[in-house]
Amino acid sequence: MGFGVCLINLPIVHRTGDPFGDIPFMPTGVMYLAGHLRARGVEVSILDGFGLAPARHYRLDGQLSAVGLTEDEIVARLGDARLVGVSVHSGMSHHFALRLAAKIRAARPGVPLVAGGHHPSAVWGEFLAGGYDYVAVGEGEAPLLHLARSLRDGVDDTDRIPGLACAGAPPTPALREEDLDACGFAAADLLPLENYWALGMSHAPVRGRYIAITTSRGCPFNCRFCTTPRLLGRQWRTRSPRHIADEIEFFARRHGVEDIIIQDEAFGTRRDIARGLAEEIIARGLKVRIHLPSGVRLESLDEETLAALRAAGLVYMCLAPESGSERVRERMGKPLDTARLLRIASCARRLGIRVGAFFILGFEGETEEDRRMTRGLAAALTRRGLDEISVFIWTPLPGAEAFGGATGWARYEDLNWSPAWRRDYPALRRARRRLYLRWLAEKALFHPVELGLSLARALSGHCELKGEAALRRMLAGVFRALGAPLRRPPDGGSG
Protein backbone atom coordinates (compact mmCIF):
# COMPACT_ATOMS: atom_id res chain seq x y z
CA MET A 1 0.00 0.00 0.00
CA GLY A 2 1.49 3.40 -1.03
CA PHE A 3 1.67 6.46 1.14
CA GLY A 4 -1.33 8.62 0.21
CA VAL A 5 -2.30 12.09 1.42
CA CYS A 6 -5.98 13.00 1.51
CA LEU A 7 -6.83 16.70 1.51
CA ILE A 8 -10.30 17.56 2.73
CA ASN A 9 -12.30 20.55 1.51
CA LEU A 10 -15.02 21.10 4.10
CA PRO A 11 -18.70 21.68 3.34
CA ILE A 12 -19.70 25.35 3.30
CA VAL A 13 -20.83 26.27 6.79
CA HIS A 14 -22.95 29.40 7.06
CA ARG A 15 -25.41 31.19 9.27
CA THR A 16 -28.83 29.83 8.33
CA GLY A 17 -30.53 32.28 5.99
CA ASP A 18 -27.47 34.52 5.47
CA PRO A 19 -27.49 35.32 1.74
CA PHE A 20 -23.73 36.10 1.84
CA GLY A 21 -22.81 32.87 3.60
CA ASP A 22 -23.44 29.96 1.24
CA ILE A 23 -21.90 31.21 -2.00
CA PRO A 24 -20.39 28.19 -3.76
CA PHE A 25 -16.61 28.35 -4.21
CA MET A 26 -13.80 26.19 -5.49
CA PRO A 27 -11.17 25.31 -2.88
CA THR A 28 -8.24 27.05 -4.52
CA GLY A 29 -5.80 26.47 -1.66
CA VAL A 30 -6.43 22.72 -1.65
CA MET A 31 -6.11 22.57 -5.44
CA TYR A 32 -2.69 24.25 -5.38
CA LEU A 33 -1.48 22.13 -2.47
CA ALA A 34 -2.51 18.94 -4.26
CA GLY A 35 -0.82 20.11 -7.48
CA HIS A 36 2.36 20.89 -5.55
CA LEU A 37 2.51 17.47 -3.83
CA ARG A 38 1.65 15.55 -6.97
CA ALA A 39 4.32 17.29 -9.03
CA ARG A 40 6.84 16.20 -6.40
CA GLY A 41 5.92 12.55 -6.42
CA VAL A 42 3.59 12.41 -3.41
CA GLU A 43 0.34 10.49 -3.96
CA VAL A 44 -2.56 12.81 -3.18
CA SER A 45 -6.34 12.93 -3.43
CA ILE A 46 -8.95 15.58 -2.65
CA LEU A 47 -12.05 14.65 -0.67
CA ASP A 48 -14.37 17.47 -1.62
CA GLY A 49 -16.88 17.85 1.20
CA PHE A 50 -18.71 20.57 -0.71
CA GLY A 51 -18.29 19.61 -4.36
CA LEU A 52 -19.48 16.01 -3.91
CA ALA A 53 -22.90 17.15 -2.66
CA PRO A 54 -23.29 20.82 -3.61
CA ALA A 55 -27.08 20.74 -3.57
CA ARG A 56 -27.41 19.16 -0.12
CA HIS A 57 -28.31 21.74 2.53
CA TYR A 58 -28.62 20.61 6.13
CA ARG A 59 -28.85 22.11 9.62
CA LEU A 60 -25.93 21.86 12.03
CA ASP A 61 -27.55 23.56 15.01
CA GLY A 62 -30.03 26.32 15.84
CA GLN A 63 -27.98 28.94 13.97
CA LEU A 64 -25.75 27.20 11.47
CA SER A 65 -26.32 25.20 8.32
CA ALA A 66 -23.98 23.45 5.90
CA VAL A 67 -23.92 22.59 2.22
CA GLY A 68 -22.21 19.37 1.21
CA LEU A 69 -21.31 16.07 2.86
CA THR A 70 -21.91 15.37 6.54
CA GLU A 71 -19.07 14.63 8.97
CA ASP A 72 -19.84 10.90 8.88
CA GLU A 73 -19.94 10.83 5.09
CA ILE A 74 -16.52 12.44 4.95
CA VAL A 75 -15.06 9.93 7.39
CA ALA A 76 -16.57 7.05 5.42
CA ARG A 77 -14.81 8.23 2.25
CA LEU A 78 -11.32 8.60 3.70
CA GLY A 79 -10.04 5.39 2.13
CA ASP A 80 -6.57 4.29 3.19
CA ALA A 81 -5.00 7.76 3.44
CA ARG A 82 -1.89 7.81 5.63
CA LEU A 83 -1.97 11.56 6.23
CA VAL A 84 -5.16 13.62 6.33
CA GLY A 85 -5.14 17.37 5.76
CA VAL A 86 -8.12 19.59 6.49
CA SER A 87 -8.44 23.00 4.87
CA VAL A 88 -10.30 25.60 6.93
CA HIS A 89 -11.17 28.76 4.97
CA SER A 90 -12.44 30.82 7.89
CA GLY A 91 -13.77 30.63 11.44
CA MET A 92 -17.16 29.60 9.97
CA SER A 93 -15.85 26.02 9.92
CA HIS A 94 -14.05 26.09 13.29
CA HIS A 95 -16.24 23.64 15.21
CA PHE A 96 -17.03 21.54 12.14
CA ALA A 97 -13.29 21.02 11.68
CA LEU A 98 -12.80 20.07 15.35
CA ARG A 99 -15.76 17.64 15.37
CA LEU A 100 -14.45 16.09 12.17
CA ALA A 101 -11.01 15.63 13.76
CA ALA A 102 -12.57 13.73 16.66
CA LYS A 103 -14.48 11.44 14.27
CA ILE A 104 -11.44 10.79 12.10
CA ARG A 105 -9.44 10.01 15.24
CA ALA A 106 -12.05 7.47 16.34
CA ALA A 107 -12.34 5.84 12.91
CA ARG A 108 -8.64 5.96 11.92
CA PRO A 109 -6.55 5.97 15.07
CA GLY A 110 -2.93 6.65 14.27
CA VAL A 111 -3.51 8.56 11.04
CA PRO A 112 -1.86 11.98 11.49
CA LEU A 113 -4.09 15.01 11.04
CA VAL A 114 -2.93 18.39 9.80
CA ALA A 115 -4.98 21.56 9.42
CA GLY A 116 -4.26 24.66 7.36
CA GLY A 117 -5.82 27.88 6.08
CA HIS A 118 -6.06 31.46 7.37
CA HIS A 119 -8.22 30.60 10.37
CA PRO A 120 -6.16 27.75 11.86
CA SER A 121 -3.03 29.78 11.11
CA ALA A 122 -4.35 32.46 13.43
CA VAL A 123 -5.61 30.14 16.19
CA TRP A 124 -3.25 27.18 15.75
CA GLY A 125 -3.13 26.42 19.50
CA GLU A 126 -6.87 25.72 19.54
CA PHE A 127 -6.57 23.31 16.61
CA LEU A 128 -3.76 21.41 18.35
CA ALA A 129 -5.78 21.28 21.58
CA GLY A 130 -8.84 20.25 19.54
CA GLY A 131 -7.37 17.07 18.04
CA TYR A 132 -5.01 18.04 15.21
CA ASP A 133 -1.44 16.79 15.30
CA TYR A 134 -0.11 19.64 13.17
CA VAL A 135 -1.17 23.04 11.92
CA ALA A 136 0.43 24.75 8.93
CA VAL A 137 0.75 28.43 9.76
CA GLY A 138 0.57 30.56 6.62
CA GLU A 139 1.34 29.08 3.22
CA GLY A 140 1.07 25.32 3.16
CA GLU A 141 3.14 24.04 0.24
CA ALA A 142 6.54 23.65 1.90
CA PRO A 143 5.41 22.42 5.36
CA LEU A 144 2.92 19.92 3.92
CA LEU A 145 5.43 18.49 1.46
CA HIS A 146 8.07 18.23 4.19
CA LEU A 147 5.59 16.54 6.57
CA ALA A 148 4.36 14.06 3.94
CA ARG A 149 7.90 13.09 2.97
CA SER A 150 9.06 12.73 6.57
CA LEU A 151 6.08 10.52 7.49
CA ARG A 152 6.45 8.49 4.30
CA ASP A 153 10.20 8.01 4.68
CA GLY A 154 10.17 7.57 8.48
CA VAL A 155 12.27 10.69 9.17
CA ASP A 156 11.87 11.78 12.77
CA ASP A 157 11.80 15.57 12.32
CA THR A 158 8.11 16.43 12.24
CA ASP A 159 8.41 18.58 15.36
CA ARG A 160 10.96 20.80 13.62
CA ILE A 161 9.34 21.56 10.28
CA PRO A 162 9.41 25.29 9.48
CA GLY A 163 5.93 26.77 9.32
CA LEU A 164 4.33 23.79 11.09
CA ALA A 165 3.05 23.86 14.67
CA CYS A 166 2.69 20.70 16.72
CA ALA A 167 2.15 19.89 20.42
CA GLY A 168 5.03 21.33 22.42
CA ALA A 169 6.51 23.02 19.34
CA PRO A 170 5.10 26.38 18.35
CA PRO A 171 5.64 27.15 14.68
CA THR A 172 8.83 28.73 13.49
CA PRO A 173 8.06 31.77 11.31
CA ALA A 174 5.75 30.84 8.46
CA LEU A 175 7.47 30.13 5.20
CA ARG A 176 6.65 32.32 2.24
CA GLU A 177 7.09 30.88 -1.23
CA GLU A 178 9.32 33.19 -3.24
CA ASP A 179 9.16 31.42 -6.58
CA LEU A 180 5.43 31.09 -7.10
CA ASP A 181 5.88 29.60 -10.58
CA ALA A 182 7.56 26.64 -8.92
CA CYS A 183 4.39 25.93 -6.92
CA GLY A 184 2.77 24.66 -10.11
CA PHE A 185 -0.82 24.54 -11.35
CA ALA A 186 -3.98 23.90 -9.39
CA ALA A 187 -4.90 20.20 -9.46
CA ALA A 188 -8.45 20.89 -10.60
CA ASP A 189 -8.82 17.41 -12.12
CA LEU A 190 -9.02 16.02 -8.56
CA LEU A 191 -12.30 17.90 -7.99
CA PRO A 192 -15.77 16.91 -9.20
CA LEU A 193 -15.62 19.85 -11.65
CA GLU A 194 -18.90 19.04 -13.39
CA ASN A 195 -20.72 19.48 -10.08
CA TYR A 196 -19.32 23.00 -9.72
CA TRP A 197 -20.10 23.93 -13.29
CA ALA A 198 -23.67 22.63 -13.02
CA LEU A 199 -24.33 25.15 -10.23
CA GLY A 200 -23.78 28.03 -12.66
CA MET A 201 -22.87 30.24 -9.74
CA SER A 202 -19.75 31.13 -7.84
CA HIS A 203 -18.32 34.25 -6.23
CA ALA A 204 -17.97 35.80 -9.69
CA PRO A 205 -20.66 35.90 -12.41
CA VAL A 206 -19.48 32.82 -14.30
CA ARG A 207 -21.55 31.48 -17.17
CA GLY A 208 -20.00 28.25 -18.28
CA ARG A 209 -17.12 26.01 -17.28
CA TYR A 210 -14.94 27.97 -14.90
CA ILE A 211 -11.85 27.67 -12.76
CA ALA A 212 -10.64 29.72 -9.78
CA ILE A 213 -6.93 30.52 -9.73
CA THR A 214 -4.54 32.79 -7.85
CA THR A 215 -1.62 34.60 -9.42
CA SER A 216 -0.01 36.41 -6.48
CA ARG A 217 0.32 36.35 -2.70
CA GLY A 218 0.78 38.94 0.03
CA CYS A 219 -0.28 42.57 0.00
CA PRO A 220 1.79 45.74 0.36
CA PHE A 221 -1.03 47.45 2.25
CA ASN A 222 -1.97 46.98 5.85
CA CYS A 223 -5.73 47.25 6.35
CA ARG A 224 -6.43 46.69 10.00
CA PHE A 225 -9.51 44.51 9.35
CA CYS A 226 -7.66 42.08 7.09
CA THR A 227 -5.54 39.02 7.88
CA THR A 228 -3.53 38.94 4.67
CA PRO A 229 -0.63 41.29 5.54
CA ARG A 230 0.08 39.41 8.75
CA LEU A 231 -0.28 35.89 7.40
CA LEU A 232 1.00 36.24 3.85
CA GLY A 233 3.30 39.22 4.36
CA ARG A 234 3.45 42.76 3.00
CA GLN A 235 5.77 41.81 0.24
CA TRP A 236 3.67 41.19 -2.87
CA ARG A 237 4.87 38.10 -4.72
CA THR A 238 3.67 37.14 -8.17
CA ARG A 239 3.77 34.38 -10.71
CA SER A 240 5.17 35.31 -14.11
CA PRO A 241 2.68 36.28 -16.85
CA ARG A 242 3.86 33.34 -18.92
CA HIS A 243 3.23 30.82 -16.12
CA ILE A 244 -0.23 32.22 -15.39
CA ALA A 245 -1.10 32.13 -19.09
CA ASP A 246 0.21 28.53 -19.28
CA GLU A 247 -2.23 27.56 -16.54
CA ILE A 248 -5.15 29.37 -18.19
CA GLU A 249 -4.30 27.77 -21.52
CA PHE A 250 -4.11 24.34 -19.91
CA PHE A 251 -7.58 24.67 -18.39
CA ALA A 252 -9.06 26.20 -21.53
CA ARG A 253 -7.71 23.50 -23.85
CA ARG A 254 -7.88 20.45 -21.55
CA HIS A 255 -11.14 21.19 -19.73
CA GLY A 256 -12.94 23.57 -22.08
CA VAL A 257 -12.92 26.28 -19.40
CA GLU A 258 -14.31 29.66 -20.52
CA ASP A 259 -14.48 31.64 -17.28
CA ILE A 260 -11.36 32.35 -15.23
CA ILE A 261 -11.80 33.68 -11.71
CA ILE A 262 -8.57 35.33 -10.56
CA GLN A 263 -9.19 35.68 -6.86
CA ASP A 264 -6.12 37.61 -5.80
CA GLU A 265 -6.80 40.35 -3.32
CA ALA A 266 -4.23 42.71 -4.79
CA PHE A 267 -4.34 42.04 -8.53
CA GLY A 268 -2.50 44.65 -10.58
CA THR A 269 -0.05 45.65 -7.88
CA ARG A 270 2.50 45.70 -10.70
CA ARG A 271 1.23 47.12 -13.96
CA ASP A 272 3.86 45.33 -16.06
CA ILE A 273 2.68 41.93 -14.78
CA ALA A 274 -0.98 42.69 -15.52
CA ARG A 275 -0.12 43.93 -19.01
CA GLY A 276 2.24 41.03 -19.60
CA LEU A 277 -0.56 38.61 -18.74
CA ALA A 278 -2.92 40.37 -21.14
CA GLU A 279 -0.33 40.17 -23.92
CA GLU A 280 0.25 36.44 -23.31
CA ILE A 281 -3.48 35.67 -23.43
CA ILE A 282 -3.97 37.64 -26.62
CA ALA A 283 -0.86 36.21 -28.31
CA ARG A 284 -2.09 32.66 -27.60
CA GLY A 285 -5.55 33.40 -28.97
CA LEU A 286 -7.24 32.25 -25.75
CA LYS A 287 -10.97 33.01 -25.70
CA VAL A 288 -11.71 33.34 -22.00
CA ARG A 289 -13.75 35.64 -19.79
CA ILE A 290 -11.67 36.94 -16.90
CA HIS A 291 -13.13 37.93 -13.53
CA LEU A 292 -11.41 39.82 -10.72
CA PRO A 293 -13.95 39.50 -7.89
CA SER A 294 -11.71 40.14 -4.86
CA GLY A 295 -10.51 43.69 -5.51
CA VAL A 296 -7.95 45.33 -7.80
CA ARG A 297 -5.15 47.75 -6.89
CA LEU A 298 -6.22 51.20 -7.98
CA GLU A 299 -2.82 52.68 -7.20
CA SER A 300 -1.18 50.94 -10.11
CA LEU A 301 -4.02 50.27 -12.56
CA ASP A 302 -4.37 52.86 -15.28
CA GLU A 303 -6.51 53.18 -18.39
CA GLU A 304 -3.95 51.59 -20.66
CA THR A 305 -3.62 48.53 -18.44
CA LEU A 306 -7.39 48.21 -18.15
CA ALA A 307 -7.75 48.43 -21.93
CA ALA A 308 -5.13 45.69 -22.35
CA LEU A 309 -6.92 43.47 -19.83
CA ARG A 310 -10.26 44.12 -21.50
CA ALA A 311 -8.79 43.07 -24.85
CA ALA A 312 -7.59 39.87 -23.15
CA GLY A 313 -11.10 39.07 -21.89
CA LEU A 314 -11.60 40.97 -18.63
CA VAL A 315 -15.38 41.21 -18.18
CA TYR A 316 -15.83 41.79 -14.46
CA MET A 317 -13.88 43.33 -11.63
CA CYS A 318 -14.42 44.63 -8.12
CA LEU A 319 -13.11 47.80 -6.55
CA ALA A 320 -12.79 47.99 -2.78
CA PRO A 321 -13.25 51.56 -1.51
CA GLU A 322 -14.80 50.17 1.75
CA SER A 323 -15.98 53.56 3.02
CA GLY A 324 -16.83 57.00 1.71
CA SER A 325 -15.36 58.62 4.81
CA GLU A 326 -11.69 59.47 4.81
CA ARG A 327 -11.68 59.39 8.59
CA VAL A 328 -12.95 55.78 8.65
CA ARG A 329 -10.58 54.74 5.87
CA GLU A 330 -7.70 56.17 7.86
CA ARG A 331 -8.81 54.19 10.86
CA MET A 332 -9.01 51.10 8.70
CA GLY A 333 -5.48 51.78 7.47
CA LYS A 334 -6.76 51.89 3.90
CA PRO A 335 -5.86 55.06 2.06
CA LEU A 336 -7.78 55.80 -1.12
CA ASP A 337 -7.48 58.31 -3.94
CA THR A 338 -11.19 59.00 -4.55
CA ALA A 339 -10.62 60.90 -7.79
CA ARG A 340 -8.67 57.95 -9.16
CA LEU A 341 -11.37 55.53 -8.04
CA LEU A 342 -14.02 57.50 -9.93
CA ARG A 343 -11.79 57.71 -13.01
CA ILE A 344 -11.15 53.96 -13.03
CA ALA A 345 -14.88 53.23 -12.64
CA SER A 346 -15.73 55.50 -15.60
CA CYS A 347 -12.94 54.07 -17.69
CA ALA A 348 -14.00 50.48 -16.97
CA ARG A 349 -17.53 51.32 -18.03
CA ARG A 350 -16.34 52.89 -21.28
CA LEU A 351 -14.35 49.76 -22.00
CA GLY A 352 -17.34 47.50 -21.32
CA ILE A 353 -16.02 45.92 -18.12
CA ARG A 354 -18.72 45.28 -15.51
CA VAL A 355 -17.71 46.73 -12.15
CA GLY A 356 -18.69 46.00 -8.55
CA ALA A 357 -17.58 47.75 -5.35
CA PHE A 358 -17.20 46.56 -1.78
CA PHE A 359 -18.28 48.62 1.19
CA ILE A 360 -17.86 47.86 4.88
CA LEU A 361 -20.27 49.35 7.40
CA GLY A 362 -19.81 49.50 11.14
CA PHE A 363 -16.02 49.73 11.45
CA GLU A 364 -14.68 51.03 14.78
CA GLY A 365 -15.88 54.56 15.53
CA GLU A 366 -18.08 54.94 12.42
CA THR A 367 -20.76 57.62 12.81
CA GLU A 368 -24.02 58.35 10.97
CA GLU A 369 -22.19 61.10 9.09
CA ASP A 370 -19.57 58.59 7.88
CA ARG A 371 -22.37 56.35 6.61
CA ARG A 372 -23.91 59.26 4.78
CA MET A 373 -20.56 59.82 3.05
CA THR A 374 -20.42 56.13 2.10
CA ARG A 375 -23.86 56.42 0.49
CA GLY A 376 -22.60 59.51 -1.33
CA LEU A 377 -19.58 57.68 -2.72
CA ALA A 378 -21.68 54.68 -3.80
CA ALA A 379 -24.06 57.08 -5.55
CA ALA A 380 -21.24 58.97 -7.31
CA LEU A 381 -19.75 55.69 -8.51
CA THR A 382 -23.12 54.38 -9.70
CA ARG A 383 -23.72 57.51 -11.74
CA ARG A 384 -20.38 56.89 -13.44
CA GLY A 385 -21.44 53.39 -14.31
CA LEU A 386 -20.63 51.18 -11.32
CA ASP A 387 -22.81 48.12 -11.86
CA GLU A 388 -23.24 46.68 -8.38
CA ILE A 389 -22.24 46.99 -4.76
CA SER A 390 -21.63 44.41 -2.01
CA VAL A 391 -22.12 45.70 1.51
CA PHE A 392 -20.56 43.92 4.47
CA ILE A 393 -20.94 44.62 8.14
CA TRP A 394 -17.59 44.66 9.89
CA THR A 395 -16.62 41.77 12.10
CA PRO A 396 -13.28 41.20 13.82
CA LEU A 397 -11.27 38.37 12.24
CA PRO A 398 -8.63 36.36 14.08
CA GLY A 399 -5.27 37.20 12.57
CA ALA A 400 -6.26 40.78 11.70
CA GLU A 401 -4.85 43.75 13.59
CA ALA A 402 -8.36 44.96 14.48
CA PHE A 403 -9.31 41.73 16.21
CA GLY A 404 -8.73 42.38 19.87
CA GLY A 405 -11.20 45.16 20.61
CA ALA A 406 -14.61 43.75 19.86
CA THR A 407 -16.55 41.75 22.42
CA GLY A 408 -19.95 40.11 22.45
CA TRP A 409 -19.37 37.24 20.05
CA ALA A 410 -19.58 33.73 21.43
CA ARG A 411 -17.86 31.48 18.89
CA TYR A 412 -15.74 31.90 15.79
CA GLU A 413 -18.74 31.06 13.62
CA ASP A 414 -20.20 34.41 14.70
CA LEU A 415 -17.38 36.21 12.92
CA ASN A 416 -18.71 36.74 9.43
CA TRP A 417 -19.93 39.74 7.44
CA SER A 418 -23.44 39.49 8.92
CA PRO A 419 -22.49 39.68 12.63
CA ALA A 420 -25.87 39.32 14.29
CA TRP A 421 -24.19 39.32 17.75
CA ARG A 422 -23.29 43.00 17.51
CA ARG A 423 -25.51 45.13 19.73
CA ASP A 424 -25.86 47.65 16.93
CA TYR A 425 -26.66 44.96 14.31
CA PRO A 426 -30.29 46.05 13.77
CA ALA A 427 -29.13 49.62 13.07
CA LEU A 428 -26.34 48.37 10.80
CA ARG A 429 -28.78 46.18 8.89
CA ARG A 430 -30.95 49.20 8.33
CA ALA A 431 -27.89 51.15 7.18
CA ARG A 432 -27.01 48.32 4.82
CA ARG A 433 -30.54 48.28 3.39
CA ARG A 434 -30.39 52.06 2.97
CA LEU A 435 -27.12 51.83 1.09
CA TYR A 436 -28.52 49.20 -1.29
CA LEU A 437 -31.67 51.29 -1.82
CA ARG A 438 -29.59 54.37 -2.61
CA TRP A 439 -27.60 52.38 -5.16
CA LEU A 440 -30.84 51.06 -6.68
CA ALA A 441 -32.36 54.55 -6.86
CA GLU A 442 -29.27 55.97 -8.62
CA LYS A 443 -29.30 53.08 -11.02
CA ALA A 444 -33.01 53.50 -11.78
CA LEU A 445 -32.52 57.23 -12.33
CA PHE A 446 -29.33 57.22 -14.38
CA HIS A 447 -29.24 53.76 -15.97
CA PRO A 448 -32.86 52.51 -16.07
CA VAL A 449 -32.37 50.31 -19.14
CA GLU A 450 -29.63 48.42 -17.36
CA LEU A 451 -31.93 47.53 -14.52
CA GLY A 452 -34.35 45.95 -16.99
CA LEU A 453 -31.52 44.12 -18.70
CA SER A 454 -30.31 42.80 -15.36
CA LEU A 455 -33.72 41.27 -14.69
CA ALA A 456 -33.78 39.76 -18.19
CA ARG A 457 -30.32 38.27 -17.70
CA ALA A 458 -31.26 36.87 -14.28
CA LEU A 459 -34.25 35.15 -15.88
CA SER A 460 -32.34 33.88 -18.92
CA GLY A 461 -29.33 32.73 -16.90
CA HIS A 462 -26.79 34.75 -18.90
CA CYS A 463 -25.70 36.66 -15.82
CA GLU A 464 -22.99 39.31 -16.02
CA LEU A 465 -23.12 40.44 -12.40
CA LYS A 466 -22.99 38.68 -9.05
CA GLY A 467 -26.27 40.37 -8.13
CA GLU A 468 -27.93 38.93 -11.24
CA ALA A 469 -26.72 35.43 -10.35
CA ALA A 470 -27.98 35.90 -6.78
CA LEU A 471 -31.35 37.15 -8.08
CA ARG A 472 -31.56 34.15 -10.38
CA ARG A 473 -30.88 31.85 -7.46
CA MET A 474 -33.71 33.50 -5.53
CA LEU A 475 -36.08 33.40 -8.51
CA ALA A 476 -35.19 29.76 -9.15
CA GLY A 477 -36.35 28.95 -5.61
CA VAL A 478 -39.65 30.76 -6.12
CA PHE A 479 -40.28 29.18 -9.55
CA ARG A 480 -39.41 25.73 -8.17
CA ALA A 481 -41.94 26.22 -5.39
CA LEU A 482 -44.53 27.17 -8.03
CA GLY A 483 -43.76 23.95 -9.91
CA ALA A 484 -42.26 25.69 -12.98
CA PRO A 485 -38.46 25.46 -12.67
CA LEU A 486 -36.34 28.05 -14.51
CA ARG A 487 -34.73 26.59 -17.63
CA ARG A 488 -30.93 26.42 -17.81
CA PRO A 489 -29.37 28.34 -20.69
CA PRO A 490 -27.60 26.19 -23.30
CA ASP A 491 -24.05 27.14 -22.20
CA GLY A 492 -24.70 26.28 -18.57
CA GLY A 493 -26.00 29.30 -16.64
CA SER A 494 -27.45 29.12 -13.16
CA GLY A 495 -30.38 26.87 -12.51
The contact set with ligand SF4 (CB under 6 A) reads: 219, 221-223, 226, 228-229, 265-266, 295, 334
Task: Give the number of residues in contact with ligand B12, rule: CB under 6 A.
Answer: 50
Is the Cβ of residue 334 or residue 472 nearer to ligand SF4 in the bound state?
334
| CB 253, min distance to ligand SF4, A | 32
Which of 212, 277, 393, 476 lies at the binding interface for ligand B12 (CB under 6 A)? 212
Is the Cβ of residue 190 or residue 332 nearer to ligand SF4 in the bound state?
332
Contact letters for ligand B12, residues 67-106 (x by CB under 6 A): ------------------xxx-xxxxx-------------
The listed partner (ligand B12, ligand SF4, none) that binds 334, CB under 5 to 8 Å by sort, is: ligand SF4
Long-range contacts of residues 400-405, Cβ cutoff 8 Å, at least 24 apart: 400/224, 400/225, 400/226, 400/227, 400/230, 401/222, 401/224, 401/225, 401/230, 401/333, 402/224, 402/225, 402/332, 402/363, 402/364, 405/364
Contact set for ligand B12, span 229-248 (CB under 6 A): 232
Is the Cβ of residue 25 or residue 197 nearer to ligand B12 in the bound state?
25
Contact set for ligand B12, span 138-157 (CB under 6 A): 139-141, 144
The listed partner (ligand SF4, ligand B12, none) that binds 175, CB under 5 to 8 Å by sort, is: none
Residue type, 487: R
What is the pairing mode between strands 12-15 and 134-136?
unpaired
Is the Cβ of residue 112 or residue 138 nearer to ligand SF4 in the bound state?
138
The listed partner (ligand SF4, ligand B12, none) that binds 229, CB under 5 to 8 Å by sort, is: ligand SF4
Is the Cβ of residue 6 or residue 347 nearer to ligand B12 in the bound state?
6
| CB 446, min distance to ligand B12, A | 28
| CB 193, min distance to ligand B12, A | 14
The listed partner (ligand B12, ligand SF4, none) that binds 382, CB under 5 to 8 Å by sort, is: none
Is the Cβ of residue 228 or residue 454 nearer to ligand SF4 in the bound state?
228
| CB 419, min distance to ligand SF4, A | 18
The listed partner (ligand SF4, ligand B12, none) that binds 113, CB under 5 to 8 Å by sort, is: none
Long-range contacts of residues 18-21, Cβ cutoff 8 Å, at least 24 apart: 18/416, 18/418, 19/470, 20/390, 20/392, 20/416, 20/417, 20/418, 21/92, 21/416, 21/418
Contact set for ligand B12, span 371-430 (CB under 6 A): 397-399, 416-417
| CB 489, min distance to ligand B12, A | 23
The listed partner (ligand B12, ligand SF4, none) that binds 321, CB under 5 to 8 Å by sort, is: none
Is the Cβ of residue 12 or residue 341 nearer to ligand B12 in the bound state?
12
| CB 177, min distance to ligand SF4, A | 17
* 25 near ligand B12, rule: CB under 6 A: yes
Is the Cβ of residue 269 or residue 454 nearer to ligand SF4 in the bound state?
269
The listed partner (ligand B12, ligand SF4, none) that binds 266, CB under 5 to 8 Å by sort, is: ligand SF4
Which of 38, 118, 243, 289 lies at the binding interface for ligand B12 (CB under 6 A)? 118
Residues in contact with ligand B12 by CB under 6 A are 7, 12-14, 20-21, 23, 25-30, 32-33, 85-87, 89-93, 114-119, 122, 136, 139-141, 144, 203, 212, 214, 226-228, 232, 263, 265, 294, 397-399, 416-417
